[in-house]
Amino acid sequence: MSRPSVTSHPYLDELEPYEPPDLRAAAARSGLEPVDLLRLSANENQFGPSPRVAQALADSGEHAFYPNYAPLREAIARYAGVAVERVVLTNGADEAIDLLIRLFAEPGQIVVTCPPTSGMYEFCAKVNRCRVLPVPRQPDFSLDVPAVEQAVHEHAGDVRLLFIASPGNPHGLSVPLRELEWLLDLRIIVAVDEAYIEFGGESAVSLLDDYQNLVVIRTFSKWAGLAGLRLGYALLAPPYASLVERIRAPYNVNSAAVAAGLATLDDLDTVRANVRRLVDERERIRSALARLEWLEPLPSEGNFVLCRVRGGAGSEVAEALALRGILVQAFLGPRMGAYFRFAVGRPEQNDAVLQALATLGPEKEGTEA
Amino acid sequence: MNAADLVRADVATMEPYTPIFPFEVVAARLGRAPEDIIKLDANENPYGPPPGVRDALANLQYAHSYPDPESRILRQALARFTGVPSGVLLAGAGADELLDLTMRLFLSPGDSILNCPPTFGMYAFDAAISGARVVSVPRTAELALDLEGIEAAVAQQRPKLVFVTSPNNPDGGWLPDHGLERLLALPVVVVLDEAYVEFAGMDRSRIGRVPHCDNLIVLRTFSKLAGLAGLRIGYGAFPATVMEHLWKIKQPYNVSVAAAAAALAALEDRAWLEQRVALIVAERERLIGLLSALPYLAPYPSDANFVLCRVVDRDARELKLALEREGILIRYFDKPRLRDHVRSSVGKPEHTDALVRVLAEW
Ligand SMILES: Cc1ncc(COP(=O)(O)O)c(C=O)c1O
Ligand SMILES: Cc1ncc(COP(=O)(O)O)c(C=O)c1O
């Protein structure tokens, strides 16, 4: 008798293992230690979390016990201005994406994405054996609303969810609420990923009361500097929220994330001051980079800046910066090959990026080799 | 629009998992401070984590950075701790996440798992979420595995995965070697959940067999051994061919940097862990002795950090409620075969004393 095998699932062949950035290789090339690299490739918050977080983690007596989510759920409801019944805590926004697909889509059904966008929607759709229907954004990265609508109608009944990041990664553009309302009139779940909302754009939370099919996904990874601790949440209609509560693992969020989330929400002034500094720095970077002939920095409402390399490839710039110990994210493919993206850091880190970029550029390429 | 319209049909009708009530909630209901509650309902470790964990968390450098998707440093430490190569080890947000990942990997809708109740509730829960059927082969009257029943069910129903727990939750019973051999000879993948294995003996895990066996998965956790239930950190050993696929479906940032740092700190203090395990094991035996002296309780022998008792000629739920009124939480299961049972974690000696004091007067 033969044993069951995993390889009998064709869906596995479509999945590639996630390739983390190879810090050691980058470090080796730059001659620096990995800890000395300036890692601006993952949109992390270089100010780090509220200073109260470390103490809260150390002092929490909760790590030995399976967590209690009620206090954090209530604190988040207050922060977001919604009823607590709408809040579902998740192990990062990433897990919220997975849970939503799990709840709303059966294998073979369709998840719509609007690339270029975060890869997690496609990843989670494939893990859940759903089909992905990409409806590309316009050349200026705004949503192609008529095309989304047409795609949904063409696959009527099969399309279950639409994921829209606002502000979007990698471009930093947010979606006007009236466009979201247009899409919300389609009979599908519209998940608006507001991972960067604290840095700009208008939140869709104000639409929750009017649209049962709206889900807002948020995270503490960016504004609160807690990417490592994994704390995200989804805001949705109470009947749906109770269903997500039913399918999530009973202890999906860890006690450090709970303690850190509460400490953050208790120290909003500090954290918000850091957010304002990042926003100011973002604008400073953008105007400085706009002066470079070979570079076009795009306007952004996130904690990052996307740049187009005029007549060149984003990957070349990323490689040249890596040699200087600065890690940024380049993209592949015809649409995004000319771009690279980097997180806004602390002022001195941003100065280092600006300085490095000032010494690059096509006219200096020869001296690089 | 009606909310339920857009939900997966099988989810809409699914039974929810009933987690224990958070003890702050119970404390508030009982009008007690959380410190005045003795929590013996979730098989947690009364000693908490080793002291190095606090320092590791206080000095956490990279809370703002995404975790290493491969948990490389932790997996190397786990390789030293378990003796199996890091290449076949995967870290997860608790053993819970690895149970779910395993099911996602093997099960298509319509496939089935084999479950041996009474046992840990998450196997049936995760199977339902994966749209899989659950073939149940109940344990015997002594709560041992019904091996003949399992063999027959495997032949008839062809489940892909068999879930077995050793020591089993809720009774603490051990799966003997000959039983494991018979399971491994079947055309199934055996998922052996060893969440409590250290309380059976620090060197009794079957994890070392995984690299030599193409149908064995062993799951373990820091929740019980190291007092880290809150931080959500578990690990599993998988056949190499399975690992390759697990990497594809695992969320890249499943394990938090706090969990990884705490687990590493715990592994560095093996002596402390072993001392606490020894205390808990000694206390377990003392607790079993005291419970069996009560006329209405029949405790099971246990290899874990908890003790299951049959409640003879009295109401088990009433017993649980009576203890709750005194600020002592134990577990009652409103499930077939268990309605006349209660389960208590093994606490510190003073917890045992408080528990037995109330029981003696009930
Ligand atoms: C648009 C978007 N959503 C979600 C995430 C991930 O959030 P989390 O860290 O909470 O999983 C990211 C991270 O880069 C992102 O860019
Ligand atoms: C048998 C068994 N497996 C797994 C778990 C969960 O382990 P973790 O906390 O690592 O998710 C438990 C928790 O009670 C358990 O009893």
- Residue A22 has a pLDDT of 64
Residue in B with minimal Cα distance to A60: B54
Reduce the DSSP state of residue B267 to 3 states and report it: helix
Alpha-carbon distance of A345 to A192, in angstroms, equals: 26
Give tens-digit pLDDT for B102-113: 999 999 888 999
pLDDT at residue B130 above 80? yes
Domain limits, chain B: 3-48+271-361, 51-269
Give tens-digit pLDDT for B228-255: 999 999 999 999 999 999 999 999 999 9
Q: Which of residues 23-82 of A touch B (CB under 8 A)?
A: 39, 42, 44-49, 53-55, 57-58, 60-71
Q: Which of B258, B242, B237, B249 is nearest to B55 (CA)?
A: B258
- Residue A20 has a pLDDT of 53
Q: Which of B69, B94, B59 is nearest to B226 (CA)?
A: B94
Secondary structure element (H or E) that encloses residue A193, with its range: strand A189-193
Integer distance in angstroms from the first to the last C-alpha of chain A? 60
DSSP B29: H
Alpha-carbon distance of B263 to B81, in angstroms, equals: 11
Q: Which residues of B39-70 are buried (b: 16+ CB within 10 A; e: fewer)?
A: bbbbbbbbbbbbebbbebbeebebbbbbbbbb
Give tens-digit pLDDT for A173-229: 999 999 999 999 998 999 999 999 999 999 999 999 999 999 999 999 999 999 999
Q: Which of residues 152-171 of A touch B (CB under 8 A)?
A: 160
pLDDT over 70 for what percent of chain A? 91
Closest CA to ligand 2's atom 7: B95
DSSP A18: P
What dihedral angle (degrees, nearest 10) is formed by the CA atoms of B82, B86, B89, B92? 100
Q: Does domain B3-48+271-361 sit in CATH 2.30.110.10?
A: no
Report the pLDDT averaged over residues B135-154. 97
Alpha-carbon Rg of chain B, whole angstroms? 21
- Residue A366 has a pLDDT of 43
Confidence at A349, pLDDT banded by 50, 70, 90:
very high
Instruction: Name the packing angle between helices A314-323 and A347-359 (round to 10°).
Output: 110
Phi, psi for A88 (deg, rounded to 5): -125, 125
Subunit contact A63:B247, Cβ cutoff 8 A? no
Helix, strand, coil % in chain A, rounded to nearest 5: 45, 15, 45
Q: Are strands B234-237 and B216-221 parallel, antiparallel or unpaired?
A: antiparallel
Residue in A with minimal Cα distance to B52: A58
Give tens-digit pLDDT for B285-294: 999 999 999 9
CATH topology of domain B51-269: Aspartate Aminotransferase; domain 2 (3.40.640)
- Residue A368 has a pLDDT of 42
Alpha-carbon distance of B151 to B146, in angstroms, equals: 9
pLDDT at residue A9 above 70? no
Confidence at A11, pLDDT banded by 50, 70, 90:
low
Strand ranges (E), A10-77: 38-39
Confidence at B2, pLDDT banded by 50, 70, 90:
low
Q: Which of residues 253-282 of A touch B (CB under 8 A)?
A: 253-258, 260
> B108 to chain A, minimum CA–CA distance in Å?
8
Phi, psi for A97 (deg, rounded to 5): -60, -45
> B295 to chain A, minimum CA–CA distance in Å?
32
Give, for ligand 1, the residue of A137, A194, A197, A221 to mutate: max count of ligand atoms closer than 8 Å to Cβ. Answer: A221
Confidence at A7, pLDDT banded by 50, 70, 90:
very low
pLDDT at residue B21 above 90? no
Q: How far is the CA of B97 from the centre of ligand 2 (A)?
A: 10
